[in-house]
Amino acid sequence: MNKTILVTGGTKGIGRSIIELFAQSGFNIITCSRNEDELESLRNDVLNKNSHVLIYTKKVDLSIKKDIENFVHYIDGLNLKIDILVNNAGQFIPGQIHTEEEGRLEHLIKVNLYSAYYISKAILPQMIARKSGHLFNICSTASITPYINGGSYCISKFALLGMTKVLREEMKNFGIKVTAVLPGATYTDSWSGVDIPPERFMPSDAIAESIYSIYHLKGATNVEEILIRPQLGDI
């Protein structure tokens, strides 16, 4: 029987690369996005290349708690054993705290922190019952570095790393592995339109490969944090 990976925000960038790599390895996929057309395109691409896997998609706005609740209900209805949860969905909006528009912090906390909190809270009980599973939270170098134009994004990512550390301690005795992934500049839509050569960035495939390798480490080995930067450093 195929294993199952749940990846939030799976239609682009790091999330899509994770899905494509794990589907090639025979994992069933559960994912979500705000865009139904992009979900349909992803579904078709995955199934055309991997006819032996199943993929379940749902349109979800992870900044809205009711949408998260509906997504969790949808997942429960699939009756699948989730082996890996990747809280990947996130949003970057540049700005500085003292000049940011009203509501910026609240919005980015909802997308970058609360979505991971509520989905983890919903999925972990089944992993605890089995005493197996792996949780990856896609943090950022902004989780440890206060970038001058990071503003509320940095705040939300610092908080996500803090939550991941707490979960690592909570899950130790249940046999569940917890990993914080801290990528630097990765070539995704967040950087669209910038006048920087693509080769200056890391490819999203490289982040997916790191997660794949960490998941397949043998025995009681847990990579608590992995910090990944471009060869020439941060941008």
pLDDT along the chain (235 residues), means of 10: 96 97 98 98 98 97 98 98 98 96 98 98 98 98 96 98 98 98 88 81 96 97 97 91
Instruction: Provide the whole-model pTM.
Output: 0.96
Chain centre distance of CA 67 = 17
Structure tokens at 164: 């991941």
Considering the domain boundaries, does residue 235 fall inside one? no
Strands (E), 34-187: 55-59, 84-87, 134-138, 177-183
Residue 234 belongs to some domain of the structure: no
In a domain, 155, yes or no: yes
pLDDT of residue 235: 84
User: Total domain count for the chain?
Assistant: 1
* SS3 call for 120: helix
Mind telling me the catalytic residues? 153
Does 112 map to a domain?
Answer: yes
CATH number for 180: 3.40.50.720
45 within a domain of the structure (yes/no)? yes
Q: What is the pLDDT of residue 81?
A: 97
Q: What is the pLDDT of residue 115?
A: 98
Query: pLDDT value at position 188?
Result: 80
What is the C-alpha to C-alpha distance for residues 152 and 150, in angstroms, rounded to an integer? 6
Is there a domain that residue 73 lies in?
A: yes
Contact between residue 91 and residue 111 where contact means Cβ atoms under 8 Å apart: yes
Range of the domain at 160: 4-228
Q: Distances in Å between the alpha carbon of 48 and those of 20, 51, 67? A: 11, 6, 29
Instruction: Give residue 180's pLDDT.
Output: 98
Cα separation, 148 vs 98, in Å, equals: 11
Classify residue 233: in a domain, yes or no. no
At residue 26, the pLDDT reads 98
d(CA 224, CA 1): 28
Q: How far apart are the first and last CA of the chain?
A: 43
Domain contains 183: yes
DSSP state of 119: H
